[in-house]
Amino acid sequence: MSRAFNASSVAGAILMMALPAFAQEVLPSWNDTAAKNRIVAFVKATTTTGGQGYVAPDDRIAVFDNDGTLWSEQPFYVQLGFILDRVKALAPQYPEWKTKEPFKSILDGEPKGIARSGEKGIVELVMATHAGQTTDQFSTIVSEWFATAKHPKTGRPYTEMGYLPMRELLDYLRSNGFATYIVSGGGVEFMRPVTEKLYGIPPQQVVGSTIATEYAIIGDVPVLKRLPKIDFIDDGPGKPAGINKFIGRKPIFVAGNSDGDYEMLRWGTAAKGPSLAIIVHHTDGEREYAYDRQSSIGKLDKALDEAERRNWLVVDMKSDWKRIFAFEQ
């Protein structure tokens, strides 16, 4: 039986055949630059069976810093924003904070007083705002804060301040058999409530700084109480130690953005065999922030100086990324 030619049906069939090609575009928010091409080449080399650079799936470990690498860290760390809001919420319970630093500066709207209080003041703030609850209670407090807190510059929820190109990179690596982890100086229990939604990284694959906890029974219910004591700082040289302690395998893909990631970048690329380290360089003052060597937050100096010599890939946000945030038009 003959069939009449139907132009619209043919066009529809051609469109359907073309759709998978569009759906499979690699890293669509990245410009087609040397940075993107090097990442794609590395992934292809490490996943091509029989190839010279092939890496078995169990050894495809990728670790990412969080602040300034996966989400914005300016004008202050997201967790500092939580601390500021938490101090204000708790202040009615602690009237002495009105005259005690660094709490006084926060309540007076002068957060620069935090810097003057030094490391001792920061630790005091963390203990006052992060301890004294059970782990479940703290998770609820953090989740409720993220549900309403907004970035001071963009007015967008902090949960929308993740970098779209990096989320695409995480998805791309996982689609090629990589296990992805966060290794951050931020508090592990501050990050865990949101990392799966934001990045597709479950809580058990988040390594961060911790405060001490202890087992207790409250109302015949077993809980973990958060104590006012630092347990582990996952920053600088603490990052390789944290990877070894909590992951147990050396990564072959490392991503960071500051000198706080320097030791992790060096350690991850020192082993024999294929490896790739990338540094997210904040160069776009219009769409995000431009900062590096002189910044008090996310300072990038030593790692930037050594990047070329150590064959680390410096990703220029302004030139290598088409879009920075998903909400960009």
Burial category of 167 from C-beta neighbours within 10 Å (exposed 0-12, middle 13-18, buried 19 and up): middle
Which pLDDT score, from 0 to 100, does residue 16 have?
47
CB 178 within 8 A of CB 275: no
Which pLDDT score, from 0 to 100, does residue 19 have?
45
- Residue 274 DSSP one-character state: -
* CB-based contacts of 25, cutoff 8 Å, min separation 6: none
66 closest CA partner among 266, 280, 249: 280
Question: Each residue's pLDDT tens digit in the chain (329 positions)?
Answer: 444 434 444 444 444 444 444 457 899 999 999 999 999 999 999 999 999 999 999 999 999 999 999 999 999 999 999 999 999 999 999 999 999 999 999 999 987 778 788 888 999 999 999 999 999 999 999 999 999 999 999 999 999 999 999 999 999 999 999 999 999 999 999 999 999 999 999 999 999 999 999 999 999 999 999 999 999 999 999 999 999 999 999 999 999 999 999 999 999 999 789 999 999 999 999 999 999 999 999 999 999 999 999 999 999 999 999 999 999 97
Phi, psi of 297 (to 5 degrees): -120, 125
Which pLDDT score, from 0 to 100, does residue 329 have?
79
Which pLDDT score, from 0 to 100, does residue 2 have?
44
Which pLDDT score, from 0 to 100, does residue 134 have?
97
Q: What is the pTM of this model?
A: 0.91
Which pLDDT score, from 0 to 100, does residue 272 have?
85
Q: What angle do CA 311, 313, 317 make, to 5 degrees?
A: 160
Which amino acid is residue 288, in one-letter code?
A: E
- Collapsing DSSP to helix, strand or coil, 176 comes out as coil
Which pLDDT score, from 0 to 100, does residue 118 have?
84
Pairing between strand 179-187 and 206-218? Answer: parallel
Which pLDDT score, from 0 to 100, does residue 301 have?
98
Q: Does domain 30-75+160-320 have CATH number 3.40.50.1000?
A: yes
Domain boundaries, the chain: 30-75+160-320
**What is the Cα–Cα distance from 3 to 170, expressed in whole angstroms?**
48
**What is the Cα–Cα distance from 310 to 105, expressed in whole angstroms?**
43
